[in-house]
Amino acid sequence: MTPSVRISRLRPAAAAAITVSLLAVCSGALAQTYAPPPPPAAPQAPDYDGGDPASANLALVDRSPEPPPPLPVYVQPPAPADGYMWVPGYWSRNRYGFFWVPGAWVLAPYTGALWTPGYWGFTNGLYLWNPGYWGPHVGFYGGINYGFGYVGLGYVGGYWKRDRFYYNRSVTNVNVTRVTNVYNHTVVVNNIDNRRVSYHGGPDGVRRAADPRELAARNDRHAPPTDIQRNFVREAGNNRAQFYDHNKGRPPQAFVDHPDNGGRPPQGQRPGGDNNRPDPNRGNPNRPDAGRGPASAVSTSTQPQRDQQQQRDLQQRDQQQRNQLQRDQQVRDQQVRDQQQRDQAQRDQQQRAQQQRDQAQRDQQQRDNQQRDRQQRDQQQQRDQQQRAQQQQQQARDQQARQQQQDREQQQVRQQQAREQQQQQQQQVRQQQAREQQHQQVQQQQAREQQQARQQQAREQQQQQQARQQPTREAQQARPQQPREAAQPRQQGGGGDGGRGGGPNRD
């Protein structure tokens, strides 16, 4: 089926109203059209185990080494009746690659249920799938702008009021002949991501974090996707044309139209009996042979009869639609009861699973605590050992410092002793020199005294000699002059003494 909107043309007024609604929705869809980011590398063509996807192992995988492709551009089919919720399309994955799960109108599993779409999130180098769920509030779906009310934060396509859901025609495509709880409210969303990115985080993904309301919605009671939603996933996974490697981001079935809109009835929502089978001409009342017999082309005089017949047909179809709505309501009530039973069983199972998880978590926490205690003890022992080693090193350094100090002090003492000894030696040398000098001086003094004594003795001897010689000289001086006079004649006569001076004066 090509991604187009097919609206049942029941009557001209309804067709005009639906046309206006479709134009509003299309304008909203065009407002959400933007340049996509570069698509991821196309995966290899999957091997469908002999060419038949139905015979292959198409189990879903919740992690991928590569990001999902960008969201395709498509239009929303009209809401078929009250109580239906729009579930946007998304990229799912099995071992053959990504495939597109078409968007569809799904009957709410219970009154007040809102759908939180799933999303791909980047964690530790992988893209992990976070499945969607039903709950009383719309939770966090990665900030992905799926369109048609799911703009990345909450849902602006309508709201529950008691047991009725009211559709916002400014955002949602509504078949006003089937849906009466409608209103118009223009929604302006700031900081919307218009890149058609289909994943959160990673290099180029949406970066918005969950706000407090979305975080609080995690604590609500949730319900998993319905059987109808799982059928949509199963059908898309069995259709090779829905895979990205085949359609390159343009899936042939971007959405699933409801049978009441004249579209193909999805598996699991097919009417149950002949009375519920749609009229073949309901989707095209303006077809040349629709509502006409073989005599419909006779003459223009039968035009009032044809108008009356068409009016009766329209009234009959309206009555059939009302009956169908009643049957749909009964089916929904039964589905609600069945869903409540399934929810109760699921809650019981979830409670048991939660108890098991809690017990496993407590056991894991106990193991973690024990491991942390061991790690803390080991770390404490290691710190104590390091502290002791540091203390020993400090003691060794202190001992070394003390030894060095003692060595320096001993060295200083030795140096001081050496200096003192040297000074003593020098003092002794100086004293010895002084003594020697003093001794020399004494000797010199003695020598001088001896010299003086000798000189004195010599003078005394000389004086004594002179004193001894004085009488001699005086005697000589006292001798008479005769001898000298007698000597003169002898000297003149040439005496026989040979010039000797006489005997008495000879020394």
What's the first-to-final CA gap in the chain, in angstroms?
186
Distance (Å, whole) CA 191 – CA 186: 16
Ranking 4-18, 96-110, 381-395 by mean pLDDT, the lowest is 4-18
Task: Give the model's pLDDT for residue 361.
Answer: 86
Q: What b/e readout covers 269-303, taking b as 16+ CB neighbours within 10 angstroms?
A: bebeeeebebbeebbebeeeebbeeeeeeeeeeee
Are both 99 and 171 inside the same structural domain?
yes
Are both 260 and 348 inside the same structural domain?
no
Boundaries of domain holding 40: 12-270
Domain membership of residue 32 (yes or no) is yes
Domain membership of residue 482 (yes or no) is no
Are both 193 and 319 inside the same structural domain?
no
Are both 164 and 111 inside the same structural domain?
yes
Distance (Å, whole) CA 109 – CA 129: 23
- For residue 167, the cross-strand partners are 158, 182
Closest among 54, 35, 129, 137 to 96, alpha carbons compared = 54
Are both 19 and 167 inside the same structural domain?
yes
Are both 188 and 102 inside the same structural domain?
yes
Of 387, 402, 434, the one marking the end of a domain is: 387
- For residue 99, the cross-strand partners are 92, 243
Q: Is the pLDDT of residue 290 over 80?
A: no
Distance (Å, whole) CA 154 – CA 142: 11
Domain membership of residue 504 (yes or no) is no
Are both 52 and 135 inside the same structural domain?
yes
Beta strands in 195-344 (DSSP E): 199-200, 255-256
Rounded mean pLDDT of 196-221? 93
Distance (Å, whole) CA 269 – CA 258: 8
Q: Is the pLDDT of residue 287 over 70?
A: no
Q: Is the pLDDT of residue 46 over 60?
A: no
Closest among 149, 250, 141, 266 to 200, alpha carbons compared = 141
Label residue 482 by pLDDT band (50, 70, 90): low
Are both 261 and 319 inside the same structural domain?
no
Rounded mean pLDDT of 146-154? 94
Task: Give the model's pLDDT for residue 264.
Answer: 43
Highest-confidence segment of 183-192, 195-204, 435-444: 195-204
Overall number of domains in the chain: 2
Domain membership of residue 218 (yes or no) is yes
Rounded mean pLDDT of 207-218? 93
Closest among 127, 166, 173 to 27, alpha carbons compared = 173
Distance (Å, whole) CA 225 – CA 133: 6
Task: Give the model's pLDDT for residue 118.
Answer: 97
Label residue 224 by pLDDT band (50, 70, 90): very high
Label residue 291 by pLDDT band (50, 70, 90): very low
CB atoms closer than 10 angstroms to residue 150 = 23
Give the DSSP letter of residue 174.
Answer: B
**Of 134 and 4, the one with more pLDDT:** 134
Instruction: Provide the residue type at 2 as one letter.
Output: T
Burial of 445 (0-12, 13-18, 19+ CB in 10 A): exposed
CB 226 within 8 A of CB 267: no
Domain membership of residue 430 (yes or no) is no
Instruction: Provide the residue type at 72 as one letter.
Output: P
Sign (positive or negative) of CA dihedral 131, 132, 136, 142: positive
Burial of 391 (0-12, 13-18, 19+ CB in 10 A): exposed
Rounded mean pLDDT of 337-346? 84
CB 222 within 8 A of CB 135: yes
Domain membership of residue 154 (yes or no) is yes
Domain membership of residue 201 (yes or no) is yes
Domain membership of residue 443 (yes or no) is no
Name the pairing type of β-strands 103-107 and 255-256.
parallel
Distance (Å, whole) CA 48 – CA 56: 6
Label residue 465 by pLDDT band (50, 70, 90): confident
In what side-by-side order are the strands of the sheet with 103-107?
84-87, 103-107, 255-256
Rounded mean pLDDT of 74-96? 94
Task: Give the model's pLDDT for residue 422.
Answer: 85
Are both 165 and 259 inside the same structural domain?
yes
Distances (CA, A) of 477 to 64, 469, 500, 507: 166, 12, 19, 16
Of 340, 370, 387, the one marking the end of a domain is: 387
Q: Which residues contact 111 (CB under 8 A, 6 or more apart)?
A: 160, 163, 336
Rounded mean pLDDT of 203-214? 92
Give the DSSP letter of residue 64.
Answer: E
Distances (CA, A) of 20 to 8, 169, 305: 14, 10, 31
Q: Is the pLDDT of residue 507 over 50?
A: no
Residue 313 tokens, joined: 């047909």
Are both 229 and 364 inside the same structural domain?
no
Task: Give the model's pLDDT for residue 16.
Answer: 38
Are both 331 and 243 inside the same structural domain?
no
Distance (Å, whole) CA 372 – CA 365: 10
**Of 50 and 290, the one with more pLDDT:** 50
Are both 62 and 183 inside the same structural domain?
yes
Distance (Å, whole) CA 488 – CA 73: 187
Ranking 92-101, 185-194, 472-481 by mean pLDDT, the lowest is 472-481
